[in-house]
Amino acid sequence: MKVKITLFVCFLLFCMGSSAFAITFPIPSLQLNVETAKTPEEVAVVLEIIALLTILALAPAILILMTPFTRLVVVFHFLRQAMGTQTSPPNQVIVGLALFMTFFIIKPVAQEIYNDSLNPYLERQITYDIAFEQAQKPIRKFLLLNTRESDLALFVKGADMKKPETRSDVSLLVLIPAYVISELKTAFIIGFVLYIPFLVIDMVVASVLLAMGMMMLPPIMISLPFKLMLFVLVDGWHLISSSLLKSFGV
């Protein structure tokens, strides 16, 4: 009998709590309306919002292909493979380090875009077309500084366009893919250089084990501590990070 009374009291409290919750926190209703624009400015604002949403949708591609992120993450991946540590550091650490170093390197370009393009546009000092043209200048300057002429000529020829006479004549549609393959080539060259000292250690350890007749022992088990010791002694992370920053002129 006591159990039934307890259950009944709990049920009443639950009902009272539910009703109180419903009264205190009403559920809002959302309405989407499509109305006729009264002025051309209202249409322009809608088009700007659509353009902004499109840019946000392309933000991952912009971050990967138009910033130093590609070179950094590829070099760090080659470094991990050369050391033979498999999954250490993990992918999250490598991507995070490459991402924040990208922000550090690209900060002057972003600051120039904000000062010359975004901020004047938000304050209604310049129009959208002028802001877009102003934003392209620092981006084009950064990409051209890190793009090989042979890669740029490849896409200019493929686009069947005239040879650009000045830097401002280079289209971003041609410059971006040229920049990407230049970054990949540079990253692969740095990765090759990183492989050489670790490869020498692997060859020395394998030769010693073969001379001792220990053919069944995997050389990677012996060479890995020596690789880590060498990397720590030369302060590898500082050396590689500083070299990558200097390669971008930082």
Residue ranges per structural domain of the chain? 41-247
pLDDT per position as a tens digit, 90-128: 889 999 999 999 999 989 888 888 888 878 877 878 777
pLDDT per position as a tens digit, 33-67: 555 556 555 545 566 667 667 766 767 777 788 88
Say what the pTM is. Answer: 0.73
Q: What helix, strand, coil percent values describe the chain, rounded to 5?
A: 75, 0, 25
Computed from CA positions of residues 82, 85, 90, 93, in that sequence, does the dihedral angle turn out positive or negative? negative
User: CA-CA distances (angstroms) from residue 162 to 158, 159, 230, 244?
Assistant: 11, 9, 51, 34
For residue 182, what pLDDT is reported? 92
Q: How sure is the predictor about 181, in pLDDT bands with cuts at 50, 70 and 90? A: very high
For residue 2, what pLDDT is reported? 45
Q: How sure is the predictor about 183, in pLDDT bands with cuts at 50, 70 and 90? A: very high
Computed from CA positions of residues 171, 176, 177, 180, in that sequence, does the dihedral angle turn out positive or negative? positive
Closest to 249 (Cα-Cα) out of 98, 110, 142: 142
Which of 79-88, 150-159, 211-220, 224-233 is least confident?
A: 211-220
Place of tokens 């002025």: 39
Six-digit token string for 166: 């000045």
